C-alpha cells in the first residue's frame, strides 16, 4: 500500500538545534565558530555520547525499514578535508547495510551532463524504507558550478527555486531530508592536508586541485551563505556543523539525525498474519507441529 502525503512533513525543532538555519534567514558564516564544542564535554565523553546516538539510530533505522512508509535522505556538503568521509564512517557505520546506501557525486559523467542537473540526484533518491547519504549532492550545481563559472549566473540563480521544488516533491513522497554543511576553518584544512602529507597511507588522498581550491575559499563561503539562506526550509533544513573537532562533528550530526527520526514516532507494522493461530498450529502441536520429525 503506497502512502502519499498531501502536506509537507516538517522537521520538528529539538533541544539541540543551534546549528539549524531558519527559513529565509540571511546567513553570515563569520558568526559561526567552526571550533565550537559544548564545554562540559571532552573528546572521550563526546565519543561515548555519539555511540549512544548511533545505537538509537540503528534502532530507528530498523523501524524505518520495517515501516516501509518513509525514507531518509542526508546531504553532506563540505570543502575538501571537511570530514564527509569520516562522518559517514562514524555515524552511518553502525547502521544495517541492508537499507542504507551512500552515493558520491563527482564531476558529472557525459550521460549525466546530457540531462538537467537534478536528474542524477533524483535517480539516487531513496526508496521507501531506505536511508541514503549523498556525499556531495545536487548542491554542487550552485557551489562549484558558481565558483568556477561552469554555468552563467542567470542559470545557477534559477537553481535555488528548482532545488526547493525538487526537495518539496521528495518530502511529499515521504522522504525526510536533512542537510549538513560540515564547516572547518582554513587553518584546520591546511593542518589536515599536512597530516595527509606526513602519513604515507593517506598520500593517495592528496590532489593538487585541493590546494588550488583553497584559493577560492572566500568565494565558496559566499556561495554557501546563499545556499543556506535560500534553501533551508522547515521540511528540508540546513545545519551548519562546527567541524574543526571531529568528535564534536560526529556527536552533533548523529544527535540531529536520531532526534529527527525519533520524532516521526515510527512503529513496527501490524502483522499480516494471525500470530496466535500460527503459534497454535506450528509451535504448540504435539510431535513438533505440521512438519513430521526427520528423526
Ligand atoms: P571528491 O569528493 O574529492 O571525490 O571530489 C569530487 C569532485 O567532483 C569535487 O571536486 C566536486 O567539486 C566535483 N563535482 C561534484 N559535482 C559536480 C558538479 N555538478 N559539477 C562540477 N563538479 C562537480
Ligand atoms: Mg577531494
Name the closest-CA residue to atom 4, ligand 1.
106
User: Measured from the CA of 141, which atom of ligand 1 is nearest?
Assistant: 19
Closest CA to 84 of 179, 177, 13, 218: 179
Question: What is the 213 CA–ligand 1 centroid distance (Å)?
Answer: 11
Question: What is the 107 CA–ligand 1 centroid distance (Å)?
Answer: 5
Q: Which ligand is nearest to the CA of 120?
A: 1
Q: Extract the residue ranges of the chain whose pLDDT is less than 70.
A: 1-3, 15-16, 285-295
The DSSP 8-state label assigned to residue 241 in this structure reads: E
Q: Which helix (H) or strand (E) holds 226?
A: helix 217-231
For residue 17, the model assigns a pLDDT of: 81
**Pocket mutation for ligand 1, best pick of 106, 116, 139, 146 (most atoms within 8 Å of C-beta):** 106
Distance CA 204, CA 214 (A): 19
For the stretch 127-144, pLDDT in tens is 999 999 999 999 999 999
For residue 294, the model assigns a pLDDT of: 54
Cα maximum dimension of the chain = 78
The finding on whether 106 has its CB within 6 A of some atom of ligand 1 is yes
User: Measured from the CA of 207, which atom of ligand 1 is nearest?
Assistant: 3
Distance CA 213, CA 194 (A): 15
Q: Which ligand is nearest to the CA of 189?
A: 2
For residue 14, the model assigns a pLDDT of: 76
For the stretch 84-98, pLDDT in tens is 999 999 999 999 999
- 181 contacts 241 by C-beta, under 8 angstroms: yes
Supply the DSSP string of 57-118, one letter for each residue.
Answer: HHHHHHHHHHH-S-EEEEEEEESTTSSHHHHIIIIITTS-STTEEEEE--SPPHHHHTS-TT
Question: What is the 28 CA–ligand 1 centroid distance (Å)?
Answer: 25
For residue 24, the model assigns a pLDDT of: 95
Question: What is the 55 CA–ligand 1 centroid distance (Å)?
Answer: 32
The finding on whether 144 has its CB within 6 A of some atom of ligand 1 is yes
Question: What is the 202 CA–ligand 1 centroid distance (Å)?
Answer: 20
**At what angle are helices 43-67 and 246-263 packed, to 10 degrees?**
30
Using a CB cutoff of 5 Å, list residues around ligand 2, an ion.
Answer: 80
For residue 157, the model assigns a pLDDT of: 98
For residue 2, the model assigns a pLDDT of: 64
Closest CA to 257 of 24, 50, 96, 80: 50
Name the closest-CA residue to atom 5, ligand 1.
106
- 230 contacts 160 by C-beta, under 8 angstroms: yes
User: Measured from the CA of 80, which atom of ligand 1 is nearest?
Assistant: 3
Closest CA to 8 of 267, 263, 236: 236
Amino acid at each position: 500500500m503506497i502512502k502519499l502525503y498531501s502536506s509537507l512533513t516538517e522537521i520538528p525543532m529539538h533541544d539541540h538545534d543551534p546549528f539549524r538555519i531558519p527559513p529565509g534567514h540571511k546567513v553570515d558564516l563569520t558568526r559561526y565558530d567552526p571550533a565550537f564544542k559544548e564545554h562540559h564535554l571532552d573528546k572521550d565523553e563526546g565519543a561515548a555520547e555519539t555511540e549512544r546516538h548511533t545505537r538509537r539510530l540503528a534502532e530507528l533505522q530498523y523501524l524505518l525499514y520495517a515501516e516501509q512508509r518513509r525514507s531518509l535522505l542526508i546531504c553532506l556538503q563540505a570543502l575538501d578535508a571537511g570530514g564527509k568521509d569520516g562522518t559517514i564512517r562514524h555515524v552511518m557505520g553502525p547502521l544495517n547495510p541492508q537499507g542504507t546506501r551512500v552515493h558520491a557525486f563527482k564531476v558529472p559523467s557525459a550521460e549525466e551532463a546530457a540531462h538537467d542537473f537534478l536528474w542524477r540526484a533524483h535517480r539516487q533518491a531513496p526508496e521507501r524504507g531506505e536511508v541514503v547519504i549523498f556525499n556531495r549532492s545536487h548542491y554542487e550545481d550552485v557551489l562549484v558550478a558558481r565558483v568556477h563559472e561552469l554555468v552563467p549566473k542567470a542559470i545557477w540563480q534559477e537553481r535555488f527555486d528548482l532545488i526547493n521544488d525538487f526537495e518539496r516533491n521528495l518530502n511529499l513522497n515521504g522522504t525526510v531530508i536533512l542537510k549538513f554543511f560540515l564547516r572547518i576553518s582554513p587553518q584546520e584544512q591546511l593542518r589536515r592536508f599536512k597530516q595527509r602529507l606526513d602519513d604515507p597511507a593517506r598520500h593517495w588522498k592528496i590532489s593538487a586541485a585541493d590546494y588550488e581550491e583553497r584559493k577560492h575559499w572566500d568565494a565558496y563561503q559566499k556561495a554557501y551563505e546563499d545556499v543556506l539562506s535560500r534553501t533551508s526550509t522547515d521540511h528540508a533544513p540546513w545545519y551548519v556543523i562546527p567541524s574543526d573537532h571531529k568528535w564534536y562533528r560526529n556527536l552533533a550530526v548523529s544527535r540531529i539525525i536520531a532526534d529527527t527520526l525519533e520524532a516521526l514516532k515510527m512503529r513496527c507494522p501490524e502483522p499480516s498474519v494471525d500470530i496466535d493461530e500460527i503459534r497454535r498450529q506450528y509451535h504448540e502441536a504435539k510431535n513438533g507441529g505440521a512438519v513430521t520429525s526427520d528423526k
